[in-house]
Structure 1
């Protein structure tokens, strides 16, 4: 079983244990859920009481709930953006007239001026309107990507940079926009790939060279990192009880959404389908819903449900 799978299992166990301690689960149902937690841990070789293993597998300060919330927010944004772009593209003429091109160029210049004055929302509107007049010009998508990145919305910047490259794969600046956005999301390998693709077209581009060097340094740092150092029990206890953010010392959702690494994690989980597949499992979804509502299934119910009984083998399929 991979470490990634065990991290997910530990997050599920932490979620269930938290449901026991925070009063979500009725007192009469706690014993049954505690037995279920023990069975899940044994099935996947995860022991939350093993401090060394818990430190190695922990994704804190994230939790299963916050990661899932980020996933839903990201999915809504991606789906909404795709629908908007599809709707816009379908309504545009295939060949813009000279008049439309002139209007688009004027709007682009207006957007550039707004960018200079750091009026990013207004700049986004100007570039979007320019695209509505001339959807085949990669500059407008690339400039809008820069506006999104300036606002910290690097996920949308990635989408626009890719649209610019779809319009013109030789437009070098779009590779820089794409690499910058991917780097800001914490996806250093994707960033390096974007910079390298741009350098194939413009080998002397200083910005692309610098971006590639920075991305490779971060990749090297990540590869060199070993397991997290062991923390003394008293220090670990303080960290768990630390203040700030949301309830229980955890950061609130807004801070999680502004964390580039969390956004990158959400993207990766969306891309490989891991989180969607887990939450799409009817057995898991039903169990989570019942736990959240305080209606914890008994062990007899769990063991009599073929889907839940086979969950362990489904997780271990990649061994």
Structure 2
């Protein structure tokens, strides 16, 4: 009953506003006054009871309701106004765009797909194909927007999710790309392209994580490798390496500033000649360390090389319209 009272109160408030407008004849005013009294009696409400007031006035509520209805009608009209001739014309334009994609004329393809969208904006394929052309032109942000449009029209369009993944991966948003590749695979489980691109995106996402080393290398796994750590310990206990490190540290932080330590100073207090000798020796020790690793554990070296190769960008995983 409280909602009915609120509605009655809103009607009474509206009638009071009409009475105070001064635009009514004396007869109309008397009729509205009678109507107000009848409503107050029937619903046991008073125009002075502000606890029944709602945030919007009755005209505002009516305006919102009619605005939503008009929008719905206009949207339906847009869909229904695409006739058979327009659909056929849009398909012809799409096919022209596909022909341009085959000859790698991507800018022209974008134009044809855009014309197809203008004729029939309710076809998800046109947006998805234009996203592919935009990606070829390096406009990955535009491709993402077109994929969003395609998914909005057809939420079960697997190719739109796959192309969204490609565009996001190109923007280095690998975590988001993984989500869209997984959705594409849910809709098309046998698509090898989605599987391959998902694996690449997951690898790159792992490489960007805090546990990954420089250049995408698994530094955490490397440091947990007993063979690597044993050889590293052997290198650091080498007297020659310890002497060189000690000389570099004393040169950098000791009394060599201003070149008084001999050999010609450089900014920061590190003697130039001494630093050159120590750096050369350190490089030589590193080369010896690498040779020792190659001899004692060639499998580990090959593993490192494989990790580096796997982090290189992979081509040939794109799709065509």
Range into which the TM-score falls when normalised by the shorter chain: 0.3 to 0.5
Q: TM-score, structure 1 length as denominator?
A: 0.42
Q: Which has the higher contact order (CA 8 A, sep 6+)?
A: 1
Larger Rg: 2
Q: TM-score, structure 2 length as denominator?
A: 0.42
